[in-house]
Structure 1
Amino acid sequence: MNVDEELEDLQERIEDEIPGGIAISDVEYEGPELVIYTSDPKKFADDGDLVRDLARKLRKRITVRPDPGVLTDPEPAKDEIDGIVPDDAGITDYDFKPDVGEVVIKAEKPGLVIGKHGSTLREITKATGWTPDVVRTPPIESSTVDNIRRYLTQESDERKEFLRQTGRRIHREETSDDEWVRVTTLGCGREVGRAAFLLSTPETRILIDCGDKPGTDETPYLQAPEANPLQSIDAVVLTHAHLDHSALVPLLYKYGYDGPIYTTPPTRDLMSLLTVDYLDVAAKQGRTPPYDSEMVREAIKHTITLDYGEVTDIAPDIKLTFHNAGHILGSAVVHFHIGDGLYNVGFSGDIHYDETRLFNGAVNDFPRLETLFLESTYGGRNDQAPSQEEAEEKLIKLIRKTHDDGGKVLIPAFAVGRSQEMMIVLEEAMRKGRIPEMPVYLDGMIWEATAIHTAHPEYLNDDLRDRIFHEDENPFLADCFQQVDEGTEQRQEIRDGEPAIILATNGMMAGGPVMEHLEMLAPDPENSLAFVGYQAEGTTGARIESGRDEVRVPSSDGRSETVKIKMNVYSVDGFSGHGDRDELISFVDEMNPRPEKIFTVHGDEGKTKALASALYQNFNMRTISPMNLETHRFI
């Protein structure tokens, strides 16, 4: 049965299941969803269980959309909604999307817009015809999130056609009777960075991640025969937004890929932020970026977002599920269910198994999992991190000492993840009097990344989610935080000013505003440099951490200058978004079920081998530390 015949059959089955009098004008696949178009959206809304029952019987993700002709005009629709929703909900904005019949309602208290068991949502649809999508008004507005929403609205016609084509490709008839599963490591084999894997079956090819390698120009092996032609790849699945996993995703569209990217909503937003900055940093350093901003927009237009726990068809023979990875906002452990119970493969991305100040710990409970690709950043024999309490105490002591000496503390930090954790730690330390009150300057994309965190509170741990929506308790709005937005002039004022703390990107000192602060502050022995995250081999951060007393930094004219390091240098372990060796072993030990095979990846060669050896010895399972370009067949 081809797709058109299948859709005709589905429409007949739907019409048999729904109450009489509800007209179905069309049924179409759009991405992984089955979309039902109707001229009677109000009647659909009368029965709150109707769509849920259809989805269960048809085993499809179903969305109901009204025909455009039955929608109330936006202005009268606003009045209707205002009359239905309690004033206490605090509606702050509406965004009407006629192409899909949705109205995005931004509110301070979204629960009051939703109502008990969605009752208020159904009232809105019955009154206006529009399908409401409720989002919380974030305490910090994000220009990235707003720009993405506007862009997707502008591109709605093209996006709808893309989703239609994707849906038909997902639900196409299988053409092969063969059964096999294999994975090719295209990057991050015995190295940190340029994460990329190709999952292949006789029917489907899926690319998992496509990142850069910090401190180098090395890219994943996209030229390998297994990855070509790029146009034949069915989907890209992105575990999280850090550049060593996402930087080169837009490059795929430059070379002909035109398919979907599956990821979580926060990862889509953060990928946009980080890849645009990636291009900006390259230009400032006099390097030719591998793609332009138009390719970033193409990537955003082709992104399909999924929440944790949603089981979704992404190919005729593959179902995808994201689970919390505990690493950064929206990071995911990726689970693939292949065939009709044939095989299950997981990719950890980067994980943190213990709960942090930002996130719940990584999920390791799956219905089935035969093979796992596991990150090994801290998989070495001596990679035991101190507790969070010990790490915070060390940081607080060095800040107090530097403050008493009249100096400044420079903390290189990734804009996403570590910066927000540092903000929470520093705000609490000042509030409780553990360090003196002083300015904390946020340089780079840190403030915008923080805004994106507040736009997706459901991805934070319970305590932080509650705090950020109480203005008096929101740690990100503390008076000590000051955004740096005037470039060199303001950085010079900070250098010449009173003791302060500076959080600046890039976390590995491979570029970004931290380099200008380093140039200004490094010659003064009263100042301190505190590393709170992993420093990959080949980066400026790694060279300083290893004891170099002078490094080359880029100058404003595109050349480089030598800077002598006379400031104090500290490494404060325990803040990394990666689990240490004990966490990685516990992640496997407590898995249910435990996989038959584990591939240790995304770690320096010695660490991947050491972790593979430990897992083999502890659990008597097959472990492999693959090299780049190795292909392994599982069935």
Structure 2
Amino acid sequence: MNVDRLFDTLREEVKRSMPPDVSIKDIKFEGPIVVVYTDEYEKLSANDSVARMVAQNIHRRVDIRPDPSGLEDPSKVDEMIRSMIPESADIYDINFIEETGEAVVEAINPSEVVGKEGKLLADLRKESGWNVKVIRAPPIPSKTVSDVRGYLRANHDERQDMLEAVARRIARPKLEGEQWVRVTAMGGFRQVGRSASLLTTRESKILIDCGLDPSSENTPYFGIPEAQPLSELDAVVITHAHLDHCGTLPALFKYGYKGPVYCTPPTRDLMALLQLDNIKLGFGENKKTPYEAQHVRQEILHTIPLKYNEVTDIAPDVRLTFYNAGHILGSAIAHFHIGEGLHNVAFSGDTKYEKTWLFNPANTKFPRLETLVMESTYGGHNDMQPTRADASDQLANYLQQAVEHGGHVLIPVFAVGRSQEVMLVIEELIRTKKIPPISVWLDGMIWEATAIHTAYPEYLNSQLRTQIFQQNNNPFLSPAFKRVETADMREEICHSPDPCIVLATSGMMSGGPVMEYFREWADDEKNWLLFVGYQSEGSIGRTIQRGRPEITLNMRGKPINLKIRMQRETVDGFSGHSDRKQLMRYISSLDPKPDRIIIGHGDDRKCTDLASSIYKKYGIETKAPQNLETIRLR
């Protein structure tokens, strides 16, 4: 059956599944979704069971939307919605998404928009004709979120063409013959950095992650025959927004890829933020990045965001589901169901199997699981981390010493994840008077990344959500936190005699504003350098962490020799990666247990050590492949 005939068949099945008294104006196919347009949307808006029933009948995701030809002009609807909603709702913004017919009201008090028993929200939908939804306005406005939404609105037609092309590719006729599944290591195996895996079946090719190596700037092995041509990839799946997992993704669009990128909504925004910042840092340090801003914009246009637990077709024989990985905001375990029960494989990305200050622990339950590809960053036999409480006490001790001696404290951090956890701990230490009041400066992308965290509260743990939205106590808005907005401010902080704490990127000291502070403060023994995140082998951070007394840095194109007299300490326990004990406990908690585990994302010794230990303790077949190896899964 060709694609057009399949679409016609699906349209007929949808019509048979819909209530007979509902007028259907059109049925279209957008990426993995079957879209049903109706001019009687208000009949269905209060009944979600219709879409679920249709989806069960046709075995595809279904979205019911108001007929776009009947939608009023957004500017008029904006005015009408605002007139109907009481001032007590405190509306922050109304975002119109024409491709879905949604009018998303952002309000400080969303219950005021919903009204008693949902009556006001129902009236808004009926009067406007739009699918009016309400969300809580983020406490910190995010320029990135606003820019991404605006760019998608401005390029609506181009995105629709892309979604239609993806839908046709997913629906192409299946090939006859023997079915098989293979995974090829394209980067990030027996190393930390440039994570990339190619999942290949008889029908399709899917790239999981597309990172760069922060210590060497090496990219994945794109030139291997299995991955060529890049334009023929069915999909790219990104587990999370750290650059070692997504830092080379825009280059795919530079070299001809025009397909979809699947990730969670916060991952889309965070990776765009970090990729654009990577271009900016490269320009400032006279380093050429493998892509330009236009390629990041193409990536945004081609991204199809998926929430946790949504089962979605991404190829003729592959369904994808994201599960919480507990690592950073929006981080996901990518689970692939291949064929009609042929094989199930999950790529863990980076995981944290512990409830942290920000997130719930990584998911352990799957419908089926034959193969797991997992990380081993702290998989070595002696890689044990202290508890979060112990880490907090250790940080408090170092900060107390530094402040008492009138020193500055420099904490290199990744903008996403560790920054926000360290902020939460410092806020609590100041609020509970465990350390004296002190200015905490945030430099780099930290403030904007924090704003994105507040835009997606559903991805935070329940305790933090309650604290922010019900107890009206947002630790990110503490007056202790101050944003470094200009180079002049940075210069002033560097030369100020007053004690302070600076959280600055980059986390491995491979560049960025952290190096400006380090250059000024390195030779004073009153100052402190505190490492709270992983420092990869070969990175500048790892070299300094090991205690070298002096170092030569290339700053602004000039070599600078620095003597390092400042105190250097490492505060373990803040990592977003599971330690050895947690990794083993994660395996024991998996339901169901996999038949095979493939180990990557760790130094050579840690990969092999963890693989051996899993086999000895659980009897599960394990492999720790080298980059460029291919393993047949089925």
Please report the TM-score for the alignment, with normalisation by the length of structure 2: 0.97
Shift of 1:80: 4.4
Q: What residue is the counterpart of 2:370 in the other structure?
A: 370
Q: What residue is the counterpart of 1:593 in the other structure?
A: 592
Map Cα deviations across residues 290-348 of structure 1 (whole Å, 9 max, x no partner): 11000000001000000111111111111101011110000001110101011000111
Change over 3 Å in CA distance of 1:450–1:287 after alignment to 2: same
Q: What residue is the counterpart of 1:530 in the other structure?
A: 530
The aligned runs of 1:31-46 (5 Å cut-off) are 31-45=31-45
Q: What residue is the counterpart of 2:235 in the other structure?
A: 235
Q: What residue is the counterpart of 1:104 in the other structure?
A: 104
Q: What residue is the counterpart of 2:269 in the other structure?
A: 269
Q: What residue is the counterpart of 1:474 in the other structure?
A: 474
Map Cα deviations across residues 331-380 of structure 1 (whole Å, 9 max, x no partner): 00111010101100011100000000000010011111111111000001
Structure 2 unaligned spans of 5+ = none
Q: Which runs of 4+ in 1 moved over 6 A?
A: 115-119
Change over 3 Å in CA distance of 1:115–1:346 after alignment to 2: farther
Q: Contact 1:235/1:262 (CA < 8 Å) preserved in 2?
A: yes
Question: Does residue 1:307 correspond to 2:307, yes or no?
Answer: yes
Change over 3 Å in CA distance of 1:92–1:334 after alignment to 2: same
Give the distance between the partners of 2:478 and 2:3, measured in 1 at CA: 55
Q: What residue is the counterpart of 2:257 in the other structure?
A: 257
Change over 3 Å in CA distance of 1:528–1:430 after alignment to 2: same
Structure 1 unaligned spans of 5+ = none
Q: What residue is the counterpart of 1:517 in the other structure?
A: 517
Number of aligned positions between the proteins: 634
Map Cα deviations across residues 410-441 of structure 1 (whole Å, 9 max, x no partner): 10000101010011000100111111111001
Question: Does residue 1:71 correspond to 2:71, yes or no?
Answer: yes
Give the distance between the partners of 1:53 and 1:623, measured in 2 at CA: 41
Q: Report which stretch shifted further, 45-54 or 114-123.
A: 114-123
Amino acid at match of 1:578: H
Change over 3 Å in CA distance of 1:325–1:53 after alignment to 2: same
Give the distance between the partners of 1:116 and 1:158, measured in 2 at CA: 40
Q: What residue is the counterpart of 1:497 in the other structure?
A: 497
Q: Contact 2:510/2:539 (CA < 8 Å) preserved in 1?
A: yes
Shift of 1:119: 6.2
Give the distance between the partners of 2:424 and 2:326, measured in 1 at CA: 17
Q: Contact 2:438/2:500 (CA < 8 Å) preserved in 1?
A: yes
Q: Contact 1:254/1:295 (CA < 8 Å) preserved in 2?
A: yes
Question: Does residue 1:429 correspond to 2:425, yes or no?
Answer: no
Secondary structure (helix, strand or coil) at the match of 2:426 reads helix
Give the distance between the partners of 1:84 and 1:44, measured in 2 at CA: 22
Secondary structure (helix, strand or coil) at the match of 1:178 reads coil
Q: What residue is the counterpart of 2:439 in the other structure?
A: 439
Change over 3 Å in CA distance of 1:53–1:389 after alignment to 2: same
Secondary structure (helix, strand or coil) at the match of 2:553 reads strand
Amino acid at match of 1:581: R
Q: What residue is the counterpart of 2:562 in the other structure?
A: 563
Give the distance between the partners of 1:6 and 1:266, measured in 2 at CA: 34
Secondary structure (helix, strand or coil) at the match of 2:25 reads strand
Amino acid at match of 1:554: N
Identity of aligned residues (%): 48
Shift of 1:36: 1.1
Shift of 1:489: 5.0
Map Cα deviations across residues 28-82 of structure 1 (whole Å, 9 max, x no partner): 1101110112233234336553223222222221112333331233344335434
Give the distance between the partners of 2:574 and 2:138, measured in 1 at CA: 26
Give the distance between the partners of 1:501 and 1:244, measured in 2 at CA: 27
Amino acid at match of 1:503: L
Change over 3 Å in CA distance of 1:48–1:394 after alignment to 2: closer
Secondary structure (helix, strand or coil) at the match of 1:139 reads coil
Q: Report which stretch shifted further, 256-265 or 2-11.
A: 2-11
Shift of 1:175: 2.0
The aligned runs of 1:310-329 (5 Å cut-off) are 310-329=310-329
Change over 3 Å in CA distance of 1:98–1:241 after alignment to 2: closer
Amino acid at match of 2:440: V
Shift of 1:159: 0.3
Give the distance between the partners of 1:174 and 1:49, measured in 2 at CA: 31
Shift of 1:576: 0.6
Q: What residue is the counterpart of 2:168 in the other structure?
A: 168
Secondary structure (helix, strand or coil) at the match of 2:45 reads helix
Please report the TM-score for the alignment, with normalisation by the length of structure 1: 0.96
Change over 3 Å in CA distance of 1:116–1:3 after alignment to 2: farther
Amino acid at match of 1:517: Y
Give the distance between the partners of 1:242 and 1:258, measured in 2 at CA: 22
Give the distance between the partners of 1:576 and 1:512, measured in 2 at CA: 21
Secondary structure (helix, strand or coil) at the match of 2:93 reads strand
Change over 3 Å in CA distance of 1:436–1:323 after alignment to 2: same
Question: Does residue 1:283 correspond to 2:273, yes or no?
Answer: no
Give the distance between the partners of 1:602 and 1:488, measured in 2 at CA: 39
Amino acid at match of 1:34: V
Q: Contact 1:597/1:622 (CA < 8 Å) preserved in 2?
A: yes
Give the distance between the partners of 2:88 and 2:57, measured in 1 at CA: 38
Secondary structure (helix, strand or coil) at the match of 2:300 reads helix
Q: Report which stretch shifted further, 16-25 or 297-306.
A: 16-25
Question: Does residue 1:127 correspond to 2:136, yes or no?
Answer: no
Change over 3 Å in CA distance of 1:2–1:209 after alignment to 2: same
Q: What residue is the counterpart of 1:14 in the other structure?
A: 14
Q: What residue is the counterpart of 2:623 in the other structure?
A: 624
Shift of 1:488: 4.9
Q: What residue is the counterpart of 1:610 in the other structure?
A: 609
Change over 3 Å in CA distance of 1:44–1:387 after alignment to 2: closer
Shift of 1:473: 1.4
Shift of 1:120: 5.2
Give the distance between the partners of 2:116 and 2:544, measured in 1 at CA: 56
Give the distance between the partners of 2:66 and 2:215, measured in 1 at CA: 51
Q: Report which stretch shifted further, 346-355 or 46-55.
A: 46-55
Q: Contact 2:182/2:200 (CA < 8 Å) preserved in 1?
A: yes
Change over 3 Å in CA distance of 1:526–1:81 after alignment to 2: same
Give the distance between the partners of 1:5 and 1:598, measured in 2 at CA: 41
Give the distance between the partners of 2:28 and 2:612, measured in 1 at CA: 50
